[in-house]
């Protein structure tokens, strides 16, 4: 609840929170009381006539949930005890030390087993002893999983890192200076540093230092293979060795240094231009990787009609994918604190990234979690931002009666302050212009117009901050109105009245809901069983819950006989991915409607990102006609 309120930043009703969390409004009131008790006399959650919102002490209350005595803290303490005891722990002694019953500890051990997936570790139980079996590398992967679990949204958090490693961990207070100097030294070598990945690298360095101090160094055979030829690896390893000894008081072994320097080179750095880095040239690209990336980018551009086939984009993405291969060998995935916001704010860009990730997985065998897909989305978004067409700007006419060069000064001010939002295509200097003939998107006038209108903005001859804000607001309204008008037209074409379900079953899970909605479109001859299966496979790649209320399951390929949308309403909400949703829109796209994909996808998600709109549609949409009426009413404002 605290995390949701912090992300939302505005008032949220108890019923909306209850829907988002899958509980009752009464439970929400209990949660609010418990959250405020954590920071008493502070305020974690404010209450008012409009509901609840995050208070000034909400972050502190969120952190308090990980502190000593909580179930998660006990679980992590148990894992650390298992990792520190090669011969295992005595269950009864450990239960006494943690002040819980043996039955509670047995339940915690079952939760430990749930953490071991993908770590190559096993938990053995013999009589009263429990023991972890696996390599040192596997044990470190478990520690990194705990650290990520402690860090909210994947952000680097020194306090969370210390909780993971234990209060007695080596040099916990030195990680801040260590990180600062590491970034500076890498910059001196001519590298850009990816700040989104540097926290993960420092976390791995901290784990290596802590395990080495406990006489648990990495075995020589566990270092990442295939990277020793990198010219700069020895330099990076030397920097890490020096900083670890000076800041952390630990002398790292050769295997640890090789492993950590590889992580640095594959997670946080990129050459500063074509001739950057100490090697004198960017890392050599593997021919298979480069060919695979080129093929996938061309396919994505054709599938989604996006302008991403550029040599610089392909080269950067290929280098990123090559680094991904190295990280995949180590199962050392990078967390991305922007994953959630990228998915909800730029669903179309994220969908292109999912397509690219899916094809790369097929070609190169790289399983990609959401955080890694988000990094690909950042590459895609950066390319699309650079290639955005000028005709996407709104046009404007300035009306400013001539007086010396006043109109020229005003135009210059508008270009300078608003040039990224609008393009001035005309200037009227008459005191009585032909208002009816002005057909631009906006009219910026220093004199009163005969008739007011949404596109007409009154400004001063000498542009003020208030003028700029009003023009930006008007431009934003016009863009939104046009987007939603296109959406309304598209949706009324594509909705299938007979493919509407109210009362989705939470027990069915994502696949059950997809099959239920898909069967309705199958019955109309829109899709076949194979399309439904490919929709399920797309869902397994990355959750299609693009907002806290809406999931949009679909197949990656646009092979439907015609574009159609099946709607499912869940009241109360159902689990979907890592969250809960109330509306599921299964979208079947036809190849002939490729251009509609972006309109339907992005604007549909935009409508359902507004919590009040979702509540209105869900509560009043008792059948298809009522649902469509409410959706149109929300779109029309």
161-168: average pLDDT: 61
pLDDT digits (tens, 9 = 90+) for 65-74: 555 556 777 8
pLDDT-above-70 percentage for the chain: 88
Per-residue model confidence (pLDDT) at position 227: 44
d(CA 247, CA 324): 29
Lowest mean per-residue pLDDT among 127-131, 180-184, 197-201, 575-579:
197-201
Please give the model's pTM, rounded to 2 decimal places.
0.72
Among residues 198, 353, 214, the alpha carbon closest in space to that of 260 is found at: 198
Answer yes or no: are the C-beta atoms of 240 and 182 closer than 8 Å: yes
pLDDT digits (tens, 9 = 90+) for 381-398: 888 876 655 446 789 999
pLDDT digits (tens, 9 = 90+) for 315-368: 889 988 888 887 777 666 777 778 888 888 888 899 999 999 999 999 888 888
8-20: average pLDDT: 86
Residue 215, token pair as written in the block: 């006489």
pLDDT digits (tens, 9 = 90+) for 509-519: 999 999 999 99
- 3-state SS, one letter per residue, for 334-366: CCCCCHHHHHHHCHHHHHHHHHHHHHHHHHHCC
Phi, psi dihedrals of residue 454, rounded to the nearest 5°: -60, -30
Residue 517, token pair as written in the block: 């909605």
Report the greatest alpha carbon distance in the chain: 96
Among residues 497, 499, 584, the alpha carbon closest in space to that of 539 is found at: 584
How many Å separate Cα 359 from the centre of its chain? 20
- Which is it for the CA torsion 188, 195, 335, 350, positive or negative? negative
Residue 592, token pair as written in the block: 């002939």
What one-character DSSP code corresponds to residue 244?
I
**Mean pLDDT of all residues belonging to the chain:** 83
Per-residue model confidence (pLDDT) at position 511: 95
pLDDT digits (tens, 9 = 90+) for 597-618: 777 777 778 888 888 888 888 8
Give 312's pLDDT tier (boundaries 50, 70, 90): confident
- pLDDT of residue 569 exceeding 60, the answer is yes
Lowest mean per-residue pLDDT among 154-158, 281-285, 376-380, 559-563:
154-158
Strand partners, 270: 192
CA of 452: how far to CAs of 443, 444, 634, in Å?
Answer: 11, 12, 25
Please state whether the peptide bond connecting residue 572 to the residue before it is cis, i.e. omega within 30 degrees of 0: yes
């Amino acid at each position: 609840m605290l995390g949701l309120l912090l992300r939302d930043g505005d008032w949220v009703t108890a019923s909306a929170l209850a829907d988002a969390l899958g509980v009752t409004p009464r439970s929400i009131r209990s949660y609010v009381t418990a959250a405020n008790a954590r920071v008493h006399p502070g305020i974690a959650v404010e209450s008012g006539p409009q509901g609840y919102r995050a208070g000034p002490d909400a972050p502190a209350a969120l952190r308090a949930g990980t502190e000593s005595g909580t179930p998660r803290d006990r679980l992590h303490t148990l894992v650390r005890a298992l990792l520190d005891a090669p011969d295992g722990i005595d269950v009864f002694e450990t239960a006494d030390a943690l002040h819980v019953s043996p039955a509670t500890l047995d339940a915690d051990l079952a939760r430990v087993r749930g953490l071991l997936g993908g770590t190559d570790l096993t938990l053995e139980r013999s009589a009263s002893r429990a023991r972890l079996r696996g390599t040192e590398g596997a044990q470190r992967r478990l520690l990194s999983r705990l650290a990520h679990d402690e860090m909210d949204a994947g952000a680097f958090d020194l306090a969370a890192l210390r909780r993971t490693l234990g209060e007695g961990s080596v040099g916990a207070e030195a990680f801040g200076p260590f990180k600062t100097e590491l970034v500076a030294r890498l910059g001196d070598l001519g590298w850009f540093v990816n700040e989104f990945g540097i926290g993960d690298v420092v976390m791995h360095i901290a784990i290596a230092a802590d395990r080495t101090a406990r006489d648990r160094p990495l075995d020589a055979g566990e270092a990442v293979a295939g990277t020793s030829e990198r010219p700069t690896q020895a330099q990076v390893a030397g920097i890490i060795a020096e900083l670890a000894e000076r800041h952390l008081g630990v002398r790292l072994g050769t295997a640890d240094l090789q492993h950590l320097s590889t992580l640095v080179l594959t997670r946080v750095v990129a050459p500063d231009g074509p001739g950057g880095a100490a090697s004198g040239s960017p890392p050599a690209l593997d021919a298979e990787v480069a060919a695979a990336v080129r093929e996938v980018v061309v396919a994505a551009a054709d599938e989604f009609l996006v302008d991403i086939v550029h040599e610089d984009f392909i080269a950067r993405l290929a280098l990123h994918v090559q680094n991904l291969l190295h990280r995949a060998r180590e199962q050392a995935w990078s967390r991305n604190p922007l994953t959630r916001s990228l998915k909800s704010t730029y669903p179309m860009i994220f969908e292109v990234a999912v397509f690219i990730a899916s094809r790369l997985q097929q070609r190169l065998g790289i399983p990609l979690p959401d955080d890694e897909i988000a990094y690909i989305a950042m590459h895609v978004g950066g390319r699309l931002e650079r290639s955005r067409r000028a005709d996407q700007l709104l046009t404007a006419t300035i009306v400013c009666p001539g007086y010396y060069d006043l109109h020229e000064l005003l135009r210059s001010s508008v270009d300078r302050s608003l040039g990224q939002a609008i393009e001035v295509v005309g200037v009227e200097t008459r005191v009585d212009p032909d208002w009816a003939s002005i057909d631009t998107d906006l009219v910026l006038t220093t004199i009163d117009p005969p008739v007011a209108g949404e596109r007409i903005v009154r400004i001063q001859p000498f542009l003020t901050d208030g003028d700029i804000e009003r023009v930006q607001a008007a431009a934003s309204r016009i863009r939104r109105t046009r987007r939603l008008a296109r959406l309304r037209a598209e949706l009324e074409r594509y909705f299938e009245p007979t493919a509407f379900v109210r009362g989705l079953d939470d027990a069915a899970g994502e696949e059950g809901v997809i099959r239920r909605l898909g069967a309705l479109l199958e019955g109309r001859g829109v899709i076949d069983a194979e399309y439904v299966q490919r929709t399920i496979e797309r869902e397994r790649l990355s959750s299609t819950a693009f907002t806290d209320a809406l999931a949009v399951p679909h197949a990656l390929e646009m092979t439907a006989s015609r574009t159609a949308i099946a709607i499912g309403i869940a009241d109360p909400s159902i689990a979907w991915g890592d969250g809960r949703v109330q509306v599921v829109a299964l979208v079947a796209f036809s190849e002939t409607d490729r251009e509609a994909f972006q309109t339907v996808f992005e604007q549909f998600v935009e409508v359902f990102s507004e919590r009040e709109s979702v509540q209105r549609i869900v509560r009043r949409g008792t059948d298809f006609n009522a649902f469509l009426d409410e959706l149109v009413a929300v779109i029309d404002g």
